[in-house]
């Protein structure tokens, strides 16, 4: 019985925590490697996986710009991870400029990070806490979804106080 109790005490943190984001490095729009740990938020990080050909992704971008502006002073960082293939690489930077993306954009042309995080739908948005645990996920985008994301950010920030 004592051995079982010891196992539970030591394994509980592993069982209780959700999926985690392991530090990764991807190139930014200026073709420089950037690590997740260098740009993640102090309290929370919103990671949005998107593509230039994805209509719902395009609809979500202005709302993510607003979320970035409204929450960055609260320790929240927004990171966009573009999954366009290598042959579309030249489109990403002008696209980000056209849509005035105000948050950091990284490129995952071979979908390595997307695959590691089980992303299969675009857009897919994760909210990650300061322990790198995914605490919220949302697939797709329809007008109004930003209210749900904002409410979740507010709730998680309150929990962190």
At 10 the pLDDT is: 41
Q: Mean pLDDT in the chain?
A: 91
pLDDT band at 91 (very low <50, low <70, confident <90, very high): very high
At 19 the pLDDT is: 87
- Which one has a higher pLDDT value, 8 or 136? 136
Tokens of 110: 């071979």
User: Could you report the per-residue pLDDT of 49-88, keeping only the tens digit for each?
Assistant: 999 999 999 999 999 999 999 999 999 999 999 999 999 9
What's the pTM? Answer: 0.88
**List of residues 6+ apart from 25 with CB closer than 8 A:** 33, 34, 35, 36
Tokens of 72: 């960055």
What CATH code is assigned to 18-160?
A: 3.40.30.10
At residue 145, does pLDDT exceed 60? yes
Distance from C-alpha of 66 to C-alpha of 84, rounded to nearest angstrom: 23
At residue 5, does pLDDT exceed 70? no
At 18 the pLDDT is: 63
Share of the chain above pLDDT 90, in %: 86
- What 3-state class would DSSP assign to 77? strand
Q: Mean pLDDT across the stretch 92-112? A: 98
Tokens of 77: 């960082």
User: Could you report the per-residue pLDDT of 6-45, keeping only the tens digit for each?
Assistant: 333 344 344 445 689 999 999 999 999 999 999 999 999 9
């Amino acid at each position: 019985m004592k051995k079982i109790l010891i196992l539970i005490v030591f394994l509980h943190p592993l069982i209780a925590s959700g999926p985690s984001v392991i530090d990764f490095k991807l190139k930014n729009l200026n073709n420089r490697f950037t690590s997740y740990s260098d740009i993640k938020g102090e309290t929370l990080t919103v990671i949005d996986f998107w593509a230039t050909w994805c209509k719902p992704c395009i609809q979500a971008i202005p709302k993510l710009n607003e979320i970035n502006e409204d929450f960055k002073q609260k320790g929240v960082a927004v990171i966009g991870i573009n999954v366009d293939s290598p042959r579309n690489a030249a489109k990403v930077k002008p696209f980000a400029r056209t849509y005035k993306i105000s948050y950091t954009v990284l490129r995952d042309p071979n979908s390595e990070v997307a695959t590691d995080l089980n992303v299969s739908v675009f857009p897919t948005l994760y909210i990650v806490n300061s322990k790198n645990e995914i605490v919220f996920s949302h697939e797709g985008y329809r007008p109004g979804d930003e209210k749900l994301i904002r409410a979740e950010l507010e709730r998680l920030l309150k929990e962190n106080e």
